[in-house]
A and B are shown apart, each in its own frame.
Chain A
Amino acid sequence: MKAVFPPPDELDFQTDERDWGAVKLLLDEFEEELSERRSALLYRLSVWKMAVRILKRAAVEKMVLREPCRRDHDYHRSSLAYLKGAGRVLEQELKRHTEVDPSNIGITWDDFAAMVEELECQDREWYGDMKPEMREKLLSELCLA
């Protein structure tokens, strides 16, 4: 009987230590804190900040410096969407709690808002659905083609 192996990109995923595991761990931690609402807003903010940092590092390794496989795209897309949404939720919560100052964990309100906005840019860059004709039309209108 002929052996059936998974496609090479699946094997890459399983054997590469620098994988999405760290991002997943931090997202799980964030999720747990969120569902149990057991800790301070600043703690969640610092976990979010760390998760964004690790996601970026993983994305450079897996998506920028190498040709990403489908599984990389799946992990990247879902982590990015999750962190973007969680960032918006934190933004709302921070607005309500005037006594909570993110500068206590080394980030100003403006820097935090800029981080959330940057995730929005990344999401559009990787997963926007602009058609190539539209892209060309738009860039030529702006004299960037």
Chain B
Amino acid sequence: MPEPPNILQQYLAARYDYDTCDEPFKSQARVKFEAIVEQIIRGSYVSRLQLVEALSERYRVYQRGRKADERRRQR
């Protein structure tokens, strides 16, 4: 049975959805993203935007990979 994605993978996927989804789904994507952020920062003094900033490099790598995959599939 495949293992469930870890919290970092969940964060990256949710951030990507929030970034790329169409406008009528934005608030829905935001709720999902913020739930994962809350889960990560719970019990710490880290703010939501600090976490976003701290994970920015990882997100960029993830985003580049997903975009490149999408381009390949479109061709």
Interface residues of A (CB under 8 A from B): 49, 56, 60, 64-65, 106-108, 110-115, 117-118, 120-122, 124-126, 128, 130, 134-135, 138-139, 141-142, 144
Once the chains bind, are B46 and A117 in contact (CB under 8 Å)?
A: no
Interface residues of B (CB under 8 A from A): 7-8, 15, 18-19, 23-27, 29-30, 40-41, 44, 46, 49-56, 59-60, 63-64, 67-68, 71
Once the chains bind, are B59 and A125 in contact (CB under 8 Å)?
A: yes
Once the chains bind, are B67 and A124 in contact (CB under 8 Å)?
A: no
Q: Which residues of A contact B44 (CB under 8 A)?
A: 141-142
Once the chains bind, are A65 and B23 in contact (CB under 8 Å)?
A: no
Chain A interface SS verdict (over half)? helix
Closest to B45 in A: A141
Once the chains bind, are A118 and B19 in contact (CB under 8 Å)?
A: yes
Once the chains bind, are B49 and A120 in contact (CB under 8 Å)?
A: yes
Select A142's contact among B19, B27, B40, B56, beta carbons within 8 Å.
B40
